[in-house]
Structure 1
Amino acid sequence: MTQNMENTPRSTVTTPDATDDPRQGLLKAIALAGRTVAAVRPEQFDAPTPCTEFTVRQLARHLVAVLRRIAHAGRGGDVTTLPTVADDLPDTAWQEAWDAAARDVEAAWADPEILGRILKLPFGSLPGGAAAAVWTSEFTVHTWDLATATGQSPHWDPELVAISYAAMKRALPTGPRDGAPFEVAVDVDADAPAIDRLVAWCGRKP
C-alpha cells in the first residue's frame, strides 16, 4: 500500500513542543533521505520496497515530488495541484533534482511565521508546524523503506525518530485504519530500537 503521509487525517495531528522549530527537524529528515537516495545503485532501481506500491525508483521519484509539494505549500500553494510522483525524472538526474528541490524547500519555509500559517494539504488544512511534523515522519519512514530495500544502514537521529513516532502515534489509531494509507500496526518488543517501533506503528515489519 502506498504510504503517503500527506493523507494522514488532520484532526489527529498536532505540532511538536513550542520550544522546538519543526522546520529544523524537517530539513534534517530531508537531508538524511537525500543521502540515502544518493547511495542507491542503478541496479537497485527496480527493487521492491516495504512501501509495497513503490519500487526503489518510484519511491525516490515520490520523495522528489513531495519536496516540490512542500516548497509549493510554503509559498501558499495548494499541493494537490502537483503530482505525487516525479515521473519526469530520469535515473541520471536524482542528485540534481533532489538538491534543487531541497534548496527550494528551505527558501520557501525561511519565514518563521509559516509555522502558524494555514497550509493546504490533500486532506484539508494544517498549520505549518503540524505539516512539518507530518512531512518529517514521511521522510523518516520512507528513508527506512529505501534503506531496507537497498541494504543501507543510516544513522538514525534520535530526535527525528522521536518527532516522527510521536506524530504517527497521534495520527494513527491502534486498530483498523480505514481511510488512512497504512496497514495495521505490527507488534514489536517494547525495547526494540526506536526506528523499529516507528515503522512497525506505520504497518511495516522491521
Structure 2
Amino acid sequence: MNEIADRYRRRAETFEAKVAAVRPEQWSSPSPCAQWDARDVVAHIVDMHAVILGPLGRALSPAPSVKEDPLAAFRAARADIEALLADPDLAATVYDTPAGRMSAARHVDQVPSADLPLHGWDLAKATGQDATIDAEDLRMSWESVSGLPPDLLERFRTPGAFGPGVEVFGPEVEVAPDAPLQDRLLGLIGRDPHWTA
C-alpha cells in the first residue's frame, strides 16, 4: 500500500508542477489529444480521481472547478486520493471496475496514478514544457501497455468501450522499432511523439 501511495504522490507532484507552470493564456492551447485543449487534460485527470471515489460512496471535496482554477481543482482532487490511500480500510476496499474486481488502492494505481505521467506529457506538449517522462514511469507504462492481450488492447482503442465518450487509447501511431522507448510507448497508445501545437 505504501508503494502505491508513494508512487501516486511522486507522480502527482510532477503533474501539479506542470499545471502550476501553465500561463493563463495557454489554457486554451490545443493538446496532442485531438478533442482536448490544455484545460481539458486537467479536467480529465480530475474526473478520473472522481471515478475512484464513486464506488466508495464518496465524491470530490468542494473546490473550484477546472474552468475556474485548474491548479486548485487538481490539488483538491489529489488531496482526496491521498486521504483515501492513507486510510487502510478504504484503500483495501474491493469493488468492481471495468478491468475487474480490485482494491481501491490498486484502482488508483492503475487509473489516475498511471494516467498522470502520460497526460503530463500531453499538458507539457500543449504548453511548451519539458515533456520527458520519468524513466521509471516510462518503464512501468511500457510493460503494462505492451503486455496487454491483443483483444484487450483493441478494446482500449474502441471509443465508448468503457463508457459513453471514453476513449482510452487512440489508433496506434507507427514509430521506428529502434525509436526511444518514450516514442514507442506514445505511438502504442495513439500519440504522435513528434506532435507540436
Taking the aligned partners of 1:45 and 1:121, their CA distance within structure 2 comes to 32
Report the TM-score when normalising by structure 1: 0.70
Q: Flag structure 2 segments of 5+ consecutive residues without an equivalent.
A: none
Matched, 1:60 2:42: yes
- Are the equivalent residues in 2 in contact too, given 1:76–1:120 (CA < 8 A)? no
Where do residues 52-201 of structure 1 align in structure 2 (5 Å cutoff)?
52-70=34-52, 72=53, 76-77=56-57, 88-91=65-68, 93-112=69-88, 117-121=93-97, 125-128=101-104, 130-131=106-107, 132-171=109-148, 173=150, 176=154, 177-178=157-158, 179=161, 181=167, 182-201=169-188
Task: Give, in angstroms, the shift of residue 154 of structure 1.
Answer: 4.4
Taking the aligned partners of 2:39 and 2:119, their CA distance within structure 1 comes to 12
Of all paired residues, the percent bearing the same amino acid is: 31
User: Residue 21 of structure 1 aligns to which amino acid in structure 2?
Assistant: E
User: Residue 54 of structure 1 aligns to which amino acid in structure 2?
Assistant: W
User: Residue 76 of structure 1 aligns to which amino acid in structure 2?
Assistant: L
Larger RCO (alpha carbons 8 Å, 6+ apart): 1
Taking the aligned partners of 2:191 and 2:118, their CA distance within structure 1 comes to 9
CA RMSD of aligned residues (A): 3.2
- Are the equivalent residues in 1 in contact too, given 2:121–2:133 (CA < 8 A)? no
- Are the equivalent residues in 2 in contact too, given 1:133–1:167 (CA < 8 A)? no
Report the TM-score when normalising by structure 2: 0.73
- Are the equivalent residues in 1 in contact too, given 2:18–2:120 (CA < 8 A)? yes
Q: Flag structure 1 segments of 5+ consecutive residues without an equivalent.
A: 1-17
Where do residues 6-85 of structure 1 align in structure 2 (5 Å cutoff)?
21-70=3-52, 72=53, 76-77=56-57
Task: Give, in angstroms, the shift of residue 87 of structure 1.
Answer: 9.3
